[in-house]
Amino acid sequence: MKAAAFRYARATSAAHAQALLAEHGEDARLLAGGQSLLAALNLRLSEPAILIDIGRIGHAAIEARDGRLRLSALATHAAIGRSAAVAEAAPMLAQAVPHIAHPAIRNRGTIGGSLALGDPAAEWPACALALNAEIVLASAARGERRVSAEDFFLGLYSTACAADEMVLAAEFPATAPNERQVCLELARRRGDYALVGVAASAKLEGGRISGLRAAFFGVGATPVLAREASRAAEGATVAEAARAAADALGRDLDPPGDPTTDGATRLRLARVLMRRAVEAMAA
Amino acid sequence: MSGAVEIALTVNGEAVRRAVDPRLHLVDFLRSELGLTGSHLGCEHGVCGACTVRLDGETVRGCLVLAVQADGAAVETIEGLAADPAWDDLRAAFVARNALQCGYCTPGMLASAAELLAAGGVPTRDAIRDHLSGNYCRCTGYHAIVDAVESVARARAGAPAA
């Protein structure tokens, strides 16, 4: 199908984009990489009156400094996947990239767009939650503010980003020497939506797991932090932690079914991924 | 209300200037405005890969890029493949290996395969399948396509044919 008609404005800076958002509010959608938005427009799932193109405002930098990794909103999935700074400071993110759609989509799609969309089956929201990233938001009326990933994803395609706000960046704490990070996903074909996926980090000291943070995606309306799994794994050896965390997942997750995969199957697959993720931390 | 937007870009090395409706995506622009019908439109929501073209040197889904976003960019399509030895080698290998039947997916398939080959080396068959996972072919079952891409990679690396 073809998109419904819309007006088009090309922002020349982040401040200009925020001014346009302030002017048009709910009638506007920001266009970054467009890899979800244009599909939604073509399917007429979305019919905004005006698109504000932020593709030329800069804000694509990837910077590691002072123990933080800052991914500016327009950093593409492909650029994140190629970045040595990302591989060193947040290896989970580098592991996530091959799971994101297909190469041609990774060349255009952006981390800011993915976070702002809040697709519950997407990789970046879960990674942000697992690593407790901060999302940097900005608006003309209220300036900049930071929201932790735990407070950012509110519901299905619903985030703390207000109608007059834009995502400027996501900031991740750089990994510690004894920290292990893993991102795993099960899909029917490479690049398909996740049946279920997990982004997990933990400390590994003396063969024991502590501070496990496992965020699952494709299991509900938002990415879900598996707190019971974390409790069950605390202080255990890798093998015990893998089993205990997987067993505890039934108290963390209640995945919905769909015509191809029922909820019980999804939970079972989540347990498989939980075990694999913890075991991979010792590899 | 929508208001046409003036854009200027190069397509296969030629300068092009047009006023376009903002909702016009890149492949409709190439096909309907420029008559370059080698880029195909399948699903029109980013799944099938038939519309894959090169934008500023990187493959993109032509249905998920607006023509107005290509303002100032360099676009390369299947019609420009003669200018690129990698695409030409692939075309010859696709013919030799019978890696197409109806041919609808082939232009996008070549664009994706060329991007993989540009990374150098001889990718594994799994890596070739991964890279082409976003390009659907309903005729071949993919084996001949993987054969063709692998044979070009091997020939370029001076490795023996599989």
Q: Does any domain span residue B32?
A: yes
CA distances from A68 to A49, A132, A136, A220, B142 (A): 38, 12, 13, 29, 43
Average confidence score pLDDT of chain B:
94
A93 and A184 housed in the same domain: no
User: Given this model, what pLDDT does residue A274 score?
Assistant: 98
Q: Does any domain span residue B143?
A: yes
Handedness of CA A159, B63, A195, A215 (dihedral sign): negative
Range of the domain at A44: 7-53
User: Given this model, what pLDDT does residue B87 score?
Assistant: 86
B59 and B94 housed in the same domain: no
Domain end (from B22, B47, B80)? B80
pLDDT band with cut points at 50, 70 and 90 for residue B53: very high
Percent of chain A, pLDDT > 90? 96
Q: With CB atoms and an 8 Å threshold, state whether B23 touches A55.
A: no
Tell me the CATH number at B44. 3.10.20.30
A191 to chain B, closest Cα gap in Å: 7
Domain end (from A173, A192, A207)? A173
pLDDT band with cut points at 50, 70 and 90 for residue B1: very low
Tell me the CATH number at B129. 1.10.150.120
User: Given this model, what pLDDT does residue B98 score?
Assistant: 96
Q: What's the complex ipTM?
A: 0.95
Count of structural domains within chain B: 2
Strand, helix or coil for residue B116: helix
Q: Does any domain span residue B162?
A: no
User: Given this model, what pLDDT does residue B86 score?
Assistant: 82
- Average pLDDT for residues A118-142, to the nearest whole number? 98
Domain end (from B80, B103, B132)? B80
B75 and B9 housed in the same domain: yes
Q: With CB atoms and an 8 Å threshold, state whether B69 touches A53.
A: yes
Mutate to test the interface with B, among A1, A36, A42, A47 (most CBs of B within 10 A): A42
- Average pLDDT for residues B3-24, to the nearest whole number? 97
Is residue B120's pLDDT more than 70? yes
Q: Does any domain span residue B100?
A: yes
A29 and A116 housed in the same domain: no
Domain end (from A149, A173, A197)? A173
Smallest CA–CA distance from A40 into chain B, residue = B45
User: Given this model, what pLDDT does residue A197 score?
Assistant: 98
Per-residue burial over A71-93, b = 16 or more CB atoms within 10 Å of its CB, e = otherwise: bbbbbbbbbbbebebbeebbbbb
- Average pLDDT for residues A134-162, to the nearest whole number? 98
Interatomic CA distance for residues B111 and A100, integer angstroms: 19
| Residue carrying structure tokens 């030895």 | B85
A116 and A218 housed in the same domain: no
* pLDDT, tens digit (0-9, with 9 covering 90-100), for A205-242: 999 999 999 999 999 999 999 999 999 999 999 999 99
A83 and A183 housed in the same domain: no
Count of structural domains within chain A: 3
Q: With CB atoms and an 8 Å threshold, state whether B65 touches A38.
A: yes
Domain end (from B65, B80, B95)? B80
B75 and B90 housed in the same domain: no
Is residue B162's pLDDT more than 70? no
B70 and B88 housed in the same domain: no
Residues 6+ apart with CB under 8 A from A144: A136, A137, A138, A168
Cα angle, residue B33 at apex, residues B30 and B36 outer, rounded to 5°: 40
Q: Does any domain span residue A199?
A: yes
Instruction: Of B74, B78, B113, give the one whose Cα is nearest residue B93.
Output: B113
